[in-house]
Structure 1
Amino acid sequence: MRVCYLTDEPSKIPAIRAMLEPHHLVVPRLLGDKASFGSDGVLMVDADLRVMARVEQIKVTLSELRAVTEKLFVVQKHLHHMVAQAYALGATSIVRSNREIGPKLAQIEAAAKASAAPEANSGTARPEIVDCARAFATMFSAINHDQSIDLSDAERATARVIAGIERDGLGAWLDDVRRYHEGTFQHCMLVTGIAVGFAIEIGFTDFDIKRLGMAATLHDIGKARIPLSILDKPGRLDPKENEIMRQHPAIGHELLKALPDISQEILDGVRHHHEYLDGTGYPDGLSAGKISDLVRLLTISDIFAALIESRPYRPPMPRQDAYKILSDMDGKLETPLVKAFRNVALVA
């Protein structure tokens, strides 16, 4: 397979060639070079995204390579905060170390061969997932740069989720998201997909599907202000870290409340998606009478998504096991809604 390797350091090229050749054809190019890559193969970007001049050079190269569907970015673990920048630039996949490059290319190559075979389904990330991840990255990046988010990004992401689920079903959406994304973006896309699937299952109008979908898309926007050492910790949070993490609903509400076109219902979902009917949730300890129907639906979707996520340190929980946990949360979640969620959890 042809690997178009774009880098900012000439010294990286020999190591990449030694690692990938002769199985792959490595075509190197330094940022700023005028030589053309061509339009086939995989584009692999390995550059310091902290330097804005290099980011601008990458944008120029990407504008010349719109026909390349697979864009693999190398974001080393110590630069994890640049993942959002990579997705904003158009990454379809991220690797965190050179050791991950070979297996990821093998996955891409196998998917390409499968998609070329008769009656085979493509194994590459669908456009809806790529566009949705890019929208999340743009919103998180804006917050990290102390800028207001553009609600049109959330609307675009929500519309892409709805379109994908209406065409291919919730199960395909969940599988694809878990295959191609991880961490906070994976969780956000899972929650939005599950919430949209839930709304469709119980017969919501198009307007209400979009309304719940928008609340789900924005529900964890406050995590953009939570330290990555906490967000991506591979294990249980300690009490101090958990206290910081529990601030994200209030942070999200604060970030969004001044936007001119934001609805109170969406703000309610962002602030209160961790509230429980028995008053033991956070941040406001609301009890049943003060928790809206939208929040009740969103909370169920959020918990289920967290349980079935794919994480580096554990596999996804089987959907039937995740649904049993929801069913055992009587008193915290609305039982009729949990029962209505059964087909979404086990069948969709």
Structure 2
Amino acid sequence: MLVCYLTDEPGKIPAIRAALEPRYAVVPRVLGQEPIFAPSGVLMVDADLREGERVEQIKNVMRDLDAINEKLFVVHRHLHHLVAQAYALGATGVVHSVKQATSRLTQIEAEIRAAETGLDSPPTWMTDCGKAFAAMYSAIGSGKTIHLADAETVTTQIIASISQNGLNGWLDNVRKYHEGTFQHCLLVTGIAVAFALDIKFTSQDVKRLGIAATLHDIGKARIPLSILDKPGRLNPKEEDIMKQHPLIGYDLLKDIPGISIETLDAVKHHHEYLDGSGYPDALASPQISDLVRLLTISDIFAALIEARPYRAAMPREEAYKILSDMNGKLETSLVKAFRRAALAA
């Protein structure tokens, strides 16, 4: 379950993460400094409601978050006028400590799961991811700047889901509720995260790889739909257009505040091979970073196991064998390390 934690003091963030993660996917935001993106899940507001400026900032944020059903305010002082202020701002519940907040989140999570039981609808976290991708692609399509916060939301949700439920459940849900480009991006991110978790990456490194995977195909937002959604194989001219997406993605992201150099490198070079036969820069082994090598393996595997209009989804065992046979193009030691995550029951 996604928890968007909105605070006026950055120093509160480590404590809330320590209390809630990894059970909940926490997306922290500092009031008045960073864009808020939380299409569903729970909004937790922890700010000083005695400050008029803070109250006005919260009002502005709340106008954009009507879709969120649960809005939990943390009021550390048992003062009736502050509690009243919280409800006036749109709170659906008020707690007075992190411990109480954790208890309330457990209750909310149980209510959400009960509501979803037996319904043929995507889980809340899957809806969050789909909306985040839709927001990014829609922004690009309308000529607007995308927010790194959207990619972080998707990545955090996927990490939490796979940590709790494993890769199999994630793959089943993605295939059931998404198709096309969104399905591929979600599959790649899930597979990359599962790979990183399996080889015991630190939480920071899992997120680094996850964000790179989330954004790796963002350039496809500028590829004509007639090519992206073509029911058959692409012809050579269409292939050339499709191969522009890494450079397009790099150009779309390079000026976004907070974007890392390694993420840009991954977006631009995830189709490079160690033998220099990839694109767009025909890089050779020494020039390809470890992050890109991991992402490329995840990307190829995802492409093989997803259904296409002209072929059925390939069994994971067969897809992994193809990876194993790509000698010289992929790093053999990483492909071997990927086996357990790829074939996990």
Structure 1 residue 344, shift from structure 2 partner: 1.1
- The alignment status of 1:248 with 2:245, answered yes or no, reads yes
Equivalent residues, number: 239
Structure 1 residue 315, shift from structure 2 partner: 2.4
| Cα deviation code 1:98-135 (max 9, x no counterpart) | xxxxxxxxxxxxxx99934xxxxx65311111101110
Cα contact 1:177–1:189 (8 A) shared by 2: yes
Structure 1 residue 260, shift from structure 2 partner: 1.8
User: Per the alignment, in what secondary structure is the counterpart of residue 332 of structure 1?
Assistant: coil
| Cα deviation code 1:294-346 (max 9, x no counterpart) | 00000000000001112344321100010011011010000000000001111
| Match in the other structure for 1:168 | 165
Aligned counterpart for 2:230 among listed residues 230, 233, 247:
233
Partners of 1:240 and 1:284 in 2: CA distance? 19
Partners of 2:207 and 2:120 in 1: CA distance? 28
Structure 1 residues 181 and 146 mapped into 2: Cα distance closer, same or farther (>3 Å)? Answer: same
Cα contact 1:256–1:267 (8 A) shared by 2: yes
Aligned counterpart for 2:317 among listed residues 316, 320, 325:
320
Listed as ranges, the matches of 1:1-348 within 5 Å are 115-116=117-118, 123-347=120-344
Cα contact 2:197–2:206 (8 A) shared by 1: yes
| Match in the other structure for 2:89 | none
Partners of 1:163 and 1:310 in 2: CA distance? 25
Partners of 1:285 and 1:64 in 2: CA distance? 46
Q: Which residues of structure 2 form unaligned runs of 5+?
A: 1-62, 71-113
| Cα deviation code 1:230-276 (max 9, x no counterpart) | 01111110000000000000000000001120000000000000000
Cα contact 2:324–2:335 (8 A) shared by 1: yes
Q: Which residues of structure 1 form unaligned runs of 5+?
A: 1-59, 68-111, 117-121
Match of 2:226, as an amino acid? S
Cα contact 1:256–1:262 (8 A) shared by 2: yes
Structure 1 residues 192 and 64 mapped into 2: Cα distance closer, same or farther (>3 Å)? Answer: closer
User: Per the alignment, in what secondary structure is the counterpart of residue 338 of structure 1?
Assistant: helix
Cα contact 1:182–1:311 (8 A) shared by 2: no
Structure 1 residue 286, shift from structure 2 partner: 0.1
Structure 1 residue 66, shift from structure 2 partner: 6.4
Partners of 2:293 and 2:343 in 1: CA distance? 19
Which of structure 1's runs of 4+ aligned residues deviate more than 2 A? 62-67, 112-116, 310-315
Higher relative contact order (CA 8 A, sep 6+): 2
Partners of 2:269 and 2:116 in 1: CA distance? 43
Query: How well do the aligned residues superpose, as a CA RMSD in angstroms?
Result: 2.2
Structure 1 residue 64, shift from structure 2 partner: 8.7
Partners of 1:253 and 1:259 in 2: CA distance? 10
Match of 1:317, as an amino acid? M
User: Per the alignment, in what secondary structure is the counterpart of residue 148 of structure 1?
Assistant: coil
Cα contact 2:189–2:213 (8 A) shared by 1: yes
| Cα deviation code 1:14-66 (max 9, x no counterpart) | xxxxxxxxxxxxxxxxxxxxxxxxxxxxxxxxxxxxxxxxxxxxxx9x96996
Match of 1:197, as an amino acid? A
User: Per the alignment, in what secondary structure is the counterpart of residue 307 of structure 2?
Assistant: coil
Identical amino acids, percent of aligned pairs: 66
Match of 1:222, as an amino acid? G
Partners of 1:277 and 1:318 in 2: CA distance? 26
Partners of 1:343 and 1:233 in 2: CA distance? 34
User: Per the alignment, in what secondary structure is the counterpart of residue 190 of structure 2?
Assistant: helix
Match of 2:127, as an amino acid? V
TM-score, normalised via structure 1 length? 0.66
Match of 1:333, as an amino acid? L
Structure 1 residues 150 and 173 mapped into 2: Cα distance closer, same or farther (>3 Å)? Answer: same
